[in-house]
Amino acid sequence: MGESGVAFPSLYDVWLMSALRSVFWLAAIASARLFAQADFSGEWAPLYHEDAPERLPGPELADYTELPINAAARMRADSWDADRISVVEEYQCRPHGSDYSMRGLGNLRIWREFDPATQRTLAIHTHMLAWDSERTIYLDGRPHPPDYAPHTWQGFSTGVWEGNMLTITTTHLKENYIRRNGVPRSDQAIVTEHWTRHGDYLTVTTVIDDPVFLTEPLVRSDNWYLDPGQHIGVFGCEYAAELPRPEGAVPHHLPGENPFLHEFATWYGLPFEATRGGAETLYPEYRRKLTGYKPPEKCERYCTCTNLFNCNR
């Protein structure tokens, strides 16, 4: 304070003010970076422009195209009998795994959970229409459970931000399917998802690493659009005995006795060997091996299938 009674800042005061301003701006920048992370909260409606016949009416039997499966997975799928879903009560209300649920009836709600003390996002929660499936994606850095912990349909998910993209790792999944025609995905799979938002569109890219049934990662993508007016109803499911059956019966086809394996190839005019899946069949070079193959002249099955209402054969 000067002699006139007017307060003049000392050099220390000037330094302190400058330092405080720096801290403020650093905090503001850091905060802005936090808030720059995409917010996925809201109601999302699925887009079925990718793989609609597989996702809506359901895959054809023995369609293993685009799947890098090994021979064990192929044999497992060949022996699968769709009767199992109805005959075995324990299958009737079995939900999709979280890796597959994004491809099914995927009306999706996303909301965030905040730490009231810090306002940091602790977790992201999702609710899917199909089987009322709910999932938590932890963002607080917690570790995944030990090997001996239970596995669930949704698995245990943790997420980290990579710029504006949320990368999610899911373990502890129950055994399930990667396609709803019996192609298996094991409980040892690790699923990585990349969530990105472009305005009112959400894209989820899913990478499945399964040491039991895949020879290389299976990569798929699914899209949603923001639909604030969407109302997700209650799914509901109650199992019941629908058919008389011997106690403990498990419908399956014995090796070499599945009569439906050639249907898909025949209906779509595809070489049978190309429908059997495997990593080799995923790549363009595989076409060179299909010598003598002539594609059908016109599409006759699921030609315009993009939503629930035009997916007619």
Partner 1 sequence: MAAVLLAGALPAQQSSPASAPNNAEIHVLPVQGAVSMLVGGGANITVQAGKDGILLVDTGLPELAPKIIAALRTLSDGPVRYIVNTHVHTDHTGGNEALAKLGRDNPPPTFPRIIANLAVQERMASNQIDVLWPNDTYSTPFKDFSFNNEPIVVYHIPAAHTDGDSLVFFRRSDVISAGDIFTPDRYPFIDLERGGSVQGIINGLNKILEITVPLRYQEGGTYVIPGHGRLCDEADVVEFRDMVTIIRDRVQDLIKKGMSLEQVKAAKPSFDYDTQYSGSPDAFVEAVYKSLKR
Shortest Å distance, C-beta 50 to partner 1 = 26
- In this complex, which beta carbon is closest to partner 1, that of residue 6 or of residue 254? 254
Which one of residues 93, 160, 241, 303 is an interface residue with partner 1 (CB under 8 A)? 93
Work out whether strand 156-162 and strand 134-138 pair parallel, antiparallel, or are unpaired: parallel
Phi, then psi, of 286 in degrees rounded to 5: -65, -25
For the segment 135-154, give every residue that binds partner 1 (CB under 8 A).
146-153
Listed ranges 7-15, 100-108, 109-117, 125-133: which one lies at the site for partner 1 (CB under 8 A): 125-133
The reply to whether 261 sits near partner 1 by the rule CB under 8 A is no
Listed ranges 103-111, 185-193, 196-204, 299-307: which one lies at the site for partner 1 (CB under 8 A): 185-193
Which one of residues 45, 47, 207, 212 is an interface residue with partner 1 (CB under 8 A)? 212
- In this complex, which beta carbon is closest to partner 1, that of residue 228 or of residue 248? 248
CB atoms within 10 A of CB 50: 13
The reply to whether 228 sits near partner 1 by the rule CB under 8 A is no
Which one of residues 28, 30, 250, 308 is an interface residue with partner 1 (CB under 8 A)? 250
Binding site for partner 1 (CB under 8 A): 70-76, 79, 84, 88, 90-91, 93-95, 131-133, 146-153, 174-175, 186-188, 211-213, 237, 247-248, 250, 252, 254-255
